[in-house]
Amino acid sequence: MSVFFRKQVFLEPPPMSDGELALVEPSVEVLASQYDAMRARGIAVNQRDEMREYTNLRRWLRSSPRGRTPGRSDRSAPQYTFWMQTPKSPKAGFITLRIGQSEHLRLYIGHIGYQVEEEARGHHYAARACLLVYPLARMHGMHELWITCAPNNKASWRSAELAHGVYVETIDTPLGYFDIPQRARFHVTL
């Protein structure tokens, strides 16, 4: 398996906003804003769940300061994680940009991963977030990216297309490699 990860140097990203959607570094402050916004909308917050999320975030930030995770193997590329933020939601979802090249990235996990919170869906935030991280990928010398998703995940499929991804194929994943038996692959030229 060929692996190419540049030296793990994280760059300062350019401002990442399209006027409504902004990508921000994960932080305890942003999480606190999310819970405050939920309470302001009258949503009941389970204090035990809230404390667990704070604890997990603090633990993750110790190993991934500012949402930047160093690569650890051919399956773990250096990556940036940003939270999606909108005027209505301090944490509408997240996007991950993985830096480097490997078979694992190209075929199975992709250079980009995203998830949008259920209450924030329907605004194309995942596709818009992809467009916002492309300049950072270019700063790392990347000229192409791969986005993958489960073939039956129509929302992720559409997000990949809206993010200028061109469907290439659906492949079987190696047994035990993922909990999803197949991955649809989309190629993005930067």
Q: Please give the average per-residue pLDDT across 64-69, as a whole number.
A: 93
Listed residue (71, 65, 78, 76) closest to 25, CA to CA = 65
User: Phi, psi at residue 2, to the nearest 5°?
Assistant: -85, 140
Which domains, from first to last, does the chain contain? Answer: 14-189 (3.40.630.30)
Segment 171-179 long-range contacts (CB within 8 Å, at least 24 positions apart): 171/107, 173/108, 177/108, 178/108
Identify whether the C-beta of residue 83 lies closer than 8 Å to the C-beta of residue 23. yes
pLDDT for position 167: 98
Q: Please give the average per-residue pLDDT across 104-121, as a whole number.
A: 94
Q: What percent of the chain has pLDDT over 90?
A: 69
Identify whether the C-beta of residue 99 lies closer than 8 Å to the C-beta of residue 133. no
State the pLDDT confidence band at 8, using cuts at 50, 70 and 90: low
pLDDT for position 130: 98
State the pLDDT confidence band at 170, using cuts at 50, 70 and 90: very high
State the pLDDT confidence band at 189, using cuts at 50, 70 and 90: very high
Q: pTM of this prediction? A: 0.91
Higher pLDDT among residues 86 and 175, named by residue: 86
Q: What is the dihedral of CA 105, 137, 19, 61, to 10 degrees?
A: 70
